[in-house]
Every structure is written in structure tokens, then in C-alpha cells.
Amino acid sequence: MSDKFHDECGVFGIFGHPEASNLTYLGLYALQHRGQESCGIVSGDGKRLHSYKGMGLVSDRFKRDSIFDELPGRNAIGHVRYSTAGSSDFKNVQPIMVDYARGSIAVAHNGNLVDAQEVRNGLEHTGSIFSTTSDTEVLIHLLAKSQSDSLAERVAEALMSVKGAYSIVFLTETRMVAVRDPNGFRPLALGRLNGAYVVASETCAFDLIEAEFIREIDPGEMVVIDKDGMKSYRPFKETTPSPCIFEFVYFARPDSTIFGEQVYKVRKELGRQLAREHHIDADVVLAVPDSGVPATIGYAEESGIPFELGLIRNHYVGRTFIEPQQSIRHFGVKLKLNPVREVIEGKRVVVVDDSLVRGTTARKIVKMIRNAGAREVHMRLSSPPTSFPCYYGIDTPSRKELISSSHTIEEIARYITADSIGYLSREGMLSAAGVPEGCNGKRFCDACFSGEYPVKFPRLKADSQLGLF
């Protein structure tokens, strides 16, 4: 069982390039960290749409050059997905492509519609038949039912009928539409490449294909791209944006720019602030790789304690493996991480990670460091305690599984067997992300830390929601 939150997916789209499907493949490769369970591409040649998708990593599904012969055209969208437990199924793989009265349309979606089940119940009551368990399919049905003349109006009408988080890309035979919800929960960037328009969940995808980053698509903005160029619309009621701060803490790649900030810079500042709040006399600072590295560098710089690579990650671990029953203790963690005894033995160690969810992995890491000879082990987290589930497109455990929701910091320290534990304060986190003091965090959604949800949902039961893509 993973001890990290998982973002549900990443999206990519390109319009007007002769190598659209190839570039979409590369874009998805760069976004693979946002979803490892399935992937897909839909291309358009101006007359019809073509689809190829499946379970597994991008490199596994698109390993034959001949696949791209099945994806002709100058336009394409793509999707990588991480599903919640029990919803891993080929039928839910995106982009979803359908034919309806006005032609063909495909959609790739990052986020979660909090009222999807209620809307779906209403649609089924009036005769709609669903083929997936994904909330994204709800949008397809709403769009098909719309009587509006233009694609932009039909998309806007469908999205106005739901609530929640969406950074979403649509593709028809002749147009591409990219939309970000009014709260701007998930990132979505706009770029150019040799005259073609490109959209992606993160700018790291632009870097790989050498596209120019133009700007972020604003919260509540819709861009429509066709052969005549790009038009921008703002069809939704304006609201206070609340992008997800956990994108800075963990989800986004450190080489991306999101929400107007460079992720690596913010993560280093999270570490610096953590050192200010939770300094301790120690001999060495270690990172839990890879996501904890930037914050650890910041912690070391601010504290003056040397940073060392004391935990080495195996980058060739697959998503599944055959685990021995009793022969190797802590096998799952040992498969991924191995301590460097020469760095650790006899030392007072600070180990920095981005977050602590259930505490099970942290407990194994602390014991691993002790077994390597550490005199003391002090755990530091570059975010506050994660005490509440997310309903906006993140796979999170139920609240009862979140250790900080039911245990004090002292109890958590004892559970993970650390000499001490220190969480970054909410104020420190927000400050590192550029929120001026006194703003009370209104620039970001930090519901997983605070329990303050910017978009209300009908019910708080996990089983009331459709599967997250």
C-alpha cells in the first residue's frame, strides 16, 4: 500500500503540427509522474479522430513505431492516469472518444467532479446509458445533450452543470478546446511550437519537445484553437482561485513552472522554512528521494548541517513485484531505498520528506537508518500534517487512514520510532509558496491540511463519488 498521495492524471494537447501524435507521446512521457497506470492518445486528421490507448506506462504501450501510423493528423490530445483502488479498468482509460450527432469528440481530464454521481443519476433517469465508471463520461453526455450551436457554448454549458476540479482538453475533427475550472485547482499551461499551439498539465512537457511556454491558462478560462488561430473565452462566474498547494509540495515535477512559480524554488524554500521552525543539532541531513530532495537542500542550506546522499533510490522498480512472505523485513521499502552506511553510521541524522500520510513507510525508513548505525534519527516534513482527504482529483486515503487525523505529533514520533518529528506549519508552507502574511491562505486550496474545502460537495462519503478517472 502506497504511503503517498497520488495525482490522478496529466493531459497534453497539440494542434497544427505534422508530428502531432509523436509529440503527444513525448509530452505524456514527461508527464508520466502524474499517472502510471494507463495512457492514451487521440489524433485528428481534419476529417476523423483516431485512438490508441491501454494499460501501463507510456513507454510500454507505445513501443512500436507502427502505432503512430494509426494516429495520423496534425492534431492530438493525450492522457496519463492513476486510478483509485478498484477502478483500474481499460474502459476508463482516457482520452474518451465518442461519436454523436455533431460528429466525433475526445476528452482528456485532470481533476474530479464532486457532484458527478448526482448528475449521472439525473442523466440515467432521462435515458442516458454509460459505458464507464469515470466522472469524465458525465461531461460527454452533458455536451451531447446541449442544443447550443457552437462547440465553445456546448462545452461551457456542460461544465456549468457540474462542480469540482477540471483541467481538461477536448478534440474534435477541426478544433481543440482547453479549459481550466474557475478555482484553478490543477495546473494547465499554454505554449507554441513552430506555429502549433500546445497545452499541457506542466511546463516540463514543453521543455522536452522544445516548445515555447507562453502562459498558464487562467482559472475559468477556455481557449478554442482551430485553423484560424486561438480565441480565449471566460464563460464562468468569476470566483477566488484556489490552486492545489500540494502540487508544490509533491505532485508537480521540480523543473516545472506552475501557478506563476518555479516548483524547485518553492520546494527549496519549504525546506528553508522547515529548518527555521524545526532546527535540531545534528551531523547530517538526508533526503527521502526523489521528491524530498529540493526541500532537503533548502533545509541543509538554512541549518548549516551538511547534506549527504544517505538514501539511494532504485529507479528500476516496477509497480508490482513478488514479495517474500517472511524472509526479508521491510521488503517493499528496501526494494526502493538503500542506506549508505558510511554516511550514516555513528551520526545524528535529520531525514527530510515532503509529507507523511499513513506513517507506515516513514516507520520503515527510520528503522532502516537506525540499522545502518545512526545514533539519532529526526524526521522532518516539508508540509503540515495531512489530516483530511481531497475531493478535487487526488487519490487520498479515507480520513481514518490518515495518521495525523487521530494521533498527536508525539504519538506519530513514537509510531515511526523517530527521536523527534517536525512538520512545517501551515503558515510556513503558505509563505514559502508566496502567500503574503495575513492572507489566510486564500490564494491556495490546502483542504488536505486545513479541512477548508473551497468547493462544497453533496456528500463526504467516498462511495458517493464516481471513480477518479
Annotated catalytic residues are 9
Phi then psi for 416, rounded to 5 degrees?
A: -85, 0
Render 394-446 in DSSP notation, one character per residue. Answer: EE---GGG-GGGTS-HHHHHHHHT-SEEEEPPHHHHHHHTTPPTTSTTTTSB-
For residue 196, what are the β-bridge partners? 193
The set of residues, in sequence order, having a beta carbon less than 8 Å from that of 121 and lying 6+ positions away, is none
Q: Under a CB-based contact definition with an 8 Å cutoff, are residues 67 and 58 in contact?
A: no
Q: How far apart are CA 135 and CA 38, in angstroms?
A: 16
Q: How far apart are CA 367 and CA 160, in angstroms?
A: 51
Select from 199, 125, 81 the least CA-distant residue to 467: 81
Residue 293's CB: how many other CB atoms inside 10 A? Answer: 22
C-alpha 394 chain-centroid distance: 7
Q: How far apart are CA 70 and CA 39, in angstroms?
A: 16
Q: Under a CB-based contact definition with an 8 Å cutoff, are residues 35 and 7 in contact?
A: yes
C-alpha 380 chain-centroid distance: 23
- Judged by DSSP in three states, 281 sits in coil
- Judged by DSSP in three states, 199 sits in strand
C-alpha cell at 238: 468569476
Cite the DSSP H helix spans in 328-408.
331-336, 341-344, 360-371
Beta-sheet pairing, 376-381 with 420-423: parallel
Q: At what angle do helices 136-145 and 116-125 cross, to 10 degrees?
A: 40
Question: Residues for the chain: how many in total?
Answer: 469
Q: How far apart are CA 25 and CA 302, in angstroms?
A: 40
